């Protein structure tokens, strides 16, 4: 068993990782960046939607594209100094930043070994179903990571899901139904749900966050429900444990 999420996903130099879904995207992004930085891999974290200002323990430096005449040179220097930098386009308000476009993602790949992108929004919900315009996944993505939070299990779909009306249609359940392992597997495995936006050549992984001893059995049931899906694998995650599921 490994405690390295990036190793479990096979992320390394040359990869562009896009994270979609709900239930821990931001934490997952910075976790991968920290692991890669510890291995000497220069990594950029960013978003194609919007993101809160990173705290010092999340990212050592924040770069604003609109304030950098030569973004690649500025980013390159930041990576040499820190090993990890977060790049956004501009401030939307004091604590919220607008993401970069997909063309800028491709440019940043010239100076970063790995780029990790929060490519979806969920308004802090535990699971979600994407709208027509979501997610915003760069076509150059090599690793597609679809996230759900296991702490949604047992709760009403309406209470824990972003866009519950869409999710209800995808899984053919009422909005007031309880989220089960089957609900999560069907939502993750749907081409209009957890797989929406995946570039055909990208390696797709399902990530189940908030793993506990109590929800490990449902997590395994979710993995079983996805065995015939396009996902390369399923990984369950806690603060201290990375559990690849067969």
> How far apart are the C-alpha atoms of 194 and 172, rounded to whole Å?
15
Mean pLDDT of 97-122: 96
> Going by C-beta distance under 8 Å and a sequence separation of 6 or more, which residues neighbour residue 151?
23, 126, 209, 210, 215
Decide if pLDDT at 1 tops 80.
Answer: no
Give pLDDT, residue 215.
Answer: 98
Inter-residue contact 109 to 115 (CB < 8 Å): yes
pLDDT digit string (tens) for 8-39?
999 999 999 999 999 999 999 999 999 999 99
pLDDT digit string (tens) for 32-83?
999 999 999 999 999 999 999 999 999 999 999 999 989 999 999 999 999 9
Inter-residue contact 97 to 108 (CB < 8 Å): no
Give pLDDT, residue 132.
Answer: 96
Residue 184: pLDDT band (50, 70, 90) is very high
ω into 91 cis (within 30 of 0): no
Mean pLDDT of 115-140: 97
Model's pTM, two decimal places?
0.97
Over the chain, what is the mean pLDDT?
96
Percent of the chain at pLDDT above 70? Answer: 99
pLDDT digit string (tens) for 147-177?
999 999 999 999 999 999 999 999 999 999 9
The residue extents of the domains of the chain are: 5-47+114-245
Mean pLDDT of 113-125: 96
Mean pLDDT of 213-238: 97
Decide if pLDDT at 84 tops 70.
Answer: yes
Work out the burial of residue 244: count CB atoms within 10 Å of its CB; fewer than 13 is exposed, 13-18 middle, 19 or more buried. Answer: middle
Mean pLDDT of 217-227: 98
Percent of the chain at pLDDT above 90? Answer: 96
């Amino acid at each position: 068993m490994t405690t390295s999420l990036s190793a479990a996903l096979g992320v390394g130099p040359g990869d562009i990782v896009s994270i979609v879904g709900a239930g821990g995207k931001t934490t997952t992004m910075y976790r991968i960046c920290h692991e890669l930085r510890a291995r000497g891999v220069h990594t950029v974290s960013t978003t194609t939607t919007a993101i809160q200002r990173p705290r010092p323990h999340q990212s050592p430096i924040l770069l604003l594209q609109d304030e950098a005449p030569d973004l690649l040179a500025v980013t390159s220097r930041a990576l040499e100094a820190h090993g990890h930098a977060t790049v956004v386009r501009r401030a939307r308000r004091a604590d919220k930043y607008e993401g970069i476009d997909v063309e800028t993602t491709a440019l940043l790949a010239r100076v970063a070994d790995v780029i990790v992108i929060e490519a979806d929004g969920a308004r802090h919900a535990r699971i979600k179903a994407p709208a027509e315009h979501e997610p915003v996944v760069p076509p150059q993505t090599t690793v597609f990571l679809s996230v759900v939070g296991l702490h949604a299990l047992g709760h009403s779909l309406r209470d824990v899901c972003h866009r519950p009306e869409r999710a209800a249609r995808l899984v053919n359940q009422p909005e007031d139904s309880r989220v089960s392992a089957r609900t999560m597997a069907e939502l993750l495995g749907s081409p209009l749900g957890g797989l929406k936006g995946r570039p055909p050549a990208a390696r797709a992984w399902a990530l189940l966050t908030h793993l506990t001893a109590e929800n490990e059995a449902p997590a395994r049931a979710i993995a079983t429900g996805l065995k015939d899906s396009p996902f390369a694998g399923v990984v369950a995650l806690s603060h201290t444990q990375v559990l690849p599921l067969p």
